[in-house]
Amino acid sequence: MKIKFQYIVFVFALIGFQASAQKTDENIGTEVVNVVKPYTPTISDAFKVKETPVMEDEDNTKREEIKYNIFSFPVASTFTPAKGKAAGVDRQKAEKLYNNYATLGVGNYGTVNAELFITENISRSEYVGGMLRHISSQGGIDAAVVDDNYYNTALDLTYGSRQQSYNWNADVGYKHQIYNWYGLPVDYINFENDVIAAINPQQTYQTVYVGGKIGAKDSFFRDATAQYKRFWDAAGSAENRFFVKPSLDIDVMSEKIKVDFIADYVGG
C-alpha cells in the first residue's frame, strides 16, 4: 500500500509539471508579415456614342416620294379693315389778305392821317407796288404865339421779280417834312410882339433814297441789301449815306452758320 501511494504521488506530480510547462509555453510570440504587391494602372478606351448611328433597318434609309397637287381658288374675304381717322384739330379761319388798302383818320386841330398801299402783279413773276403816307395838323393850340402846324408825307415805289432760284426788288422813295418849333419860354420871358413876329419857327426836311435787295435759294449766298439816301433841310445842311449788307449761309458739318457783312458810309 505504501508503494502504490508513492506511485500515485509521482503521477500527480508529473501531471502538475506538464500543466505548468504548458502554461509557461502558452505565449508563442509575435511576428510582422509585410505583403508587397506591385500596382500597375492602365487606361481603357471609353465608350463614345457615335453622332450618326448605323441604322440596321434598311426600310428607314429609303425615301418615300410624295405626290401632291395644289388646288388654288379665290376665297371671298369678309374682313374689312377700319379706316384710320385723324385727330380733330381746330383750324382757325385764314385771314383774308388784300393787295390794296387805304386808311383815313381825322382828329382835332385839323389832324389828318391817311395811308394808301397798292400792289399789282404784272406777270406771274413780276410785280409793282406803291405806298403813300401822310399825317398833318393845321395847328391852333391855345396860347401858342407862333405857327404850330406841321405835315409829314412819304411816297415809296417798288418793282420786284420772283424767279425759281432767286428774287430781287428795287425801291425808290421820297419824304417831305415841315415842322414849326413853337416852344417859347413865355412863362419866364416876356417877348415883344415885334420879336415874336420876326421868329421863323418853320423847318423843312427832305429825304430821297434809292435801293434794292436780292436773295438766292439753295446757295451759300443768302441775300444782299444796298441803299443810297440823301437828306437835306432848309437851313442848308445835307447828309449822304450809302450802305451795303450781304448775308451768307455757310454749312459747317451738320450746322449752318449765318454770316453778315455791312459797309456803311455817312458823310455831309
Position with higher pLDDT, 83 vs 53: 83
For 186-222, how does the pLDDT look when each residue is reduced to its tens digit (9 = 90+)?
Answer: 666 777 878 777 888 889 999 999 999 999 988 888 8
Rounded percentage of the chain residues whose pLDDT exceeds 70: 73
The closest alpha carbon to 127, from 166, 165, 162, belongs to 162
The whole-number pLDDT of residue 148 equals: 84
Per the domain annotation, does 237 fall within a domain? Answer: yes
The whole-number pLDDT of residue 56 equals: 62
Instruction: In whole angstroms, give the CA distance from residue 251 to residue 256.
Output: 5
Per the domain annotation, does 159 fall within a domain? Answer: yes
Decide if 198 contacts 249 (C-beta within 8 A).
no
Beta strands in the chain (DSSP E): 101-107, 111-121, 126-137, 150-162, 166-180, 202-216, 221-233, 238-252, 255-260, 263-267
Decide if 138 contacts 127 (C-beta within 8 A).
no
The whole-number pLDDT of residue 13 equals: 56
Decide if 157 contacts 174 (C-beta within 8 A).
no
Confidence category of residue 58, pLDDT binned at 50, 70, 90: low
Angle subtended at Cα 173 by Cα 201 and Cα 240, rounded to the nearest 5 degrees: 70
- The neighbouring-strand residues paired with 107 are 111
Rounded percentage of the chain residues whose pLDDT exceeds 90: 36
Show the cell assigned to 248.
451768307
The closest alpha carbon to 207, from 226, 230, 228, 227, belongs to 230
Per the domain annotation, does 87 fall within a domain? Answer: no
Per the domain annotation, does 227 fall within a domain? Answer: yes
The closest alpha carbon to 204, from 266, 259, 150, 137, belongs to 150
Instruction: In whole angstroms, give the CA distance from residue 221 to residue 251.
Output: 11
Decide if 218 contacts 165 (C-beta within 8 A).
yes
DSSP assignment of 191-240: --HHHHHH---EEEEEEEEEEEEEEESSSSEEEEEEEEEEEEETTS-EEE
Per the domain annotation, does 207 fall within a domain? Answer: yes
The whole-number pLDDT of residue 2 equals: 44
As a whole number of angstroms, the longest Cα–Cα distance in the chain is 214
The whole-number pLDDT of residue 229 equals: 96
The whole-number pLDDT of residue 39 equals: 67
Mean residue pLDDT across the chain = 80
Q: Which domain holds residue 194?
A: 101-267
For 16-33, how does the pLDDT look when each residue is reduced to its tens digit (9 = 90+)?
Answer: 555 554 444 455 566 776
Per the domain annotation, does 57 fall within a domain? Answer: no
The domain tally of the chain equals: 1
Least confident of 65-74, 94-103, 223-232: 65-74
DSSP assignment of 243-264: EEEEEEEEEETTEEEEEE--EE
Per the domain annotation, does 155 fall within a domain? Answer: yes
AA identity, residue 240: N
**pTM of structure:** 0.59
Show the cell assigned to 6.
508513492
Per the domain annotation, does 50 fall within a domain? Answer: no
